[in-house]
């Protein structure tokens, strides 16, 4: 049985989001707005099929995929790039590789109890986010 991420998760810690945004080429003014947001993650999971919604007061981002199947991701409202994206299970971790213009781009999610972890990487920058289950 794979891990079940279904639920609503509220951010409680966000390390080096600024460095990650700089690596993505996000402009100064947008970084200042984005840097104070408190994103919520809403996961819908049916086995290997996922929808992850990242919700903020500024912008929202939704990504749907099936583990193991490559898809074209357009990071609309984020850095607006096109990636060939694949999310795979690595034991109970979800490991995403976003192939495209930016090197070493991707993310990893995992759960420990009622805590959801996310590491977002682009080039030489990693942002570490922690969420607590709220629903
Ligand atoms: O989530 O990859 O859970 O899709 C990355 C923001 C700020 C927009 C958010 C809005 C990168 C301006 C994580 C932030 C910064 C700054 C929330 C999205 C880019 C632009 C929408 C992500 C994965 C893993 C699932």
**Given CA atoms 82, 88, 94, 97 in this order, what sign does their dihedral have?**
negative
Q: Calculate the alpha carbon distances from 68 to 27, 72, 80, 124 in Å.
A: 33, 13, 23, 25
Q: Which of 54, 62, 74, 119 to mutate to test the pocket of ligand 1 (most atoms within 8 A of CB)?
A: 54
How much is the average pLDDT of 16-27? 98
In a domain? residue 84: yes
The predicted-structure confidence for 103-122, as pLDDT tens digits, reads as follows: 999 999 999 999 999 999 99
In a domain? residue 2: no
For ligand 1, the distance from its centroid to the CA atom of residue 54, given in whole angstroms, is: 7
In a domain? residue 107: yes
Does the pLDDT of residue 135 top 90, yes or no? Answer: no
Residue 21: is it exposed, middle or buried by C-beta count within 10 angstroms (0-12/13-18/19+)? Answer: buried
CATH number of domain containing 124: 2.40.128.20
CA–CA dist 53, 65 (Å, integer): 12
Q: Which of 27, 33, 61 to mutate to test the pocket of ligand 1 (most atoms within 8 A of CB)?
A: 61
In a domain? residue 1: no
In a domain? residue 17: yes
The domain in which residue 13 lies consists of: 7-133
Let me know the angle formed at the C-alpha of 9 by 15 and 20, rounded to the nearest 5 degrees.
25
Q: Model's pTM, two decimal places?
A: 0.97
Total residues belonging to the chain: 135
Number of H helices, E strands in the chain: 2, 10
Beta partners for residue 76, in sequence order: none
Distance, first Cα to last Cα, the chain = 22
For residue 41, the ligand 1 atom closest to its alpha carbon is: 3
In a domain? residue 94: yes
The predicted-structure confidence for 67-106, as pLDDT tens digits, reads as follows: 999 999 999 999 999 999 999 999 999 999 999 999 999 9
Question: How would residue 1 be classed by pLDDT, with cut points 50, 70 and 90?
Answer: low
Domain count, the chain: 1
In a domain? residue 66: yes
- Asked whether 63 lines ligand 1 (CB < 6 A), one says yes
CA–CA dist 79, 2 (Å, integer): 31
Ligand 1, atom 7: closest residue by C-alpha: 34
Ligand 1, atom 10: closest residue by C-alpha: 59
In a domain? residue 46: yes
């Amino acid at each position: 049985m794979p891990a079940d991420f279904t639920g609503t998760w509220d951010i409680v810690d966000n390390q080096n989001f600024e460095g990650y945004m700089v690596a993505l080429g996000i402009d100064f003014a947008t970084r200042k707005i984005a840097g104070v947001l408190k994103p919520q993650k809403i996961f819908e999971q049916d086995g290997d099929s996922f929808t992850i919604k990242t919700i903020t007061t500024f912008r929202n981002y939704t990504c749907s995929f099936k583990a193991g199947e490559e898809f074209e991701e357009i990071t609309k409202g984020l850095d607006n790039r096109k990636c060939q994206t694949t999310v795979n299970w690595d034991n109970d971790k979800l490991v995403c590789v976003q192939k495209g213009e930016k090197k070493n781009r991707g993310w990893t999610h995992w759960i420990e109890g009622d805590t959801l972890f996310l590491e977002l990487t682009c080039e030489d920058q990693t942002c570490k986010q922690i969420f607590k289950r709220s629903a």
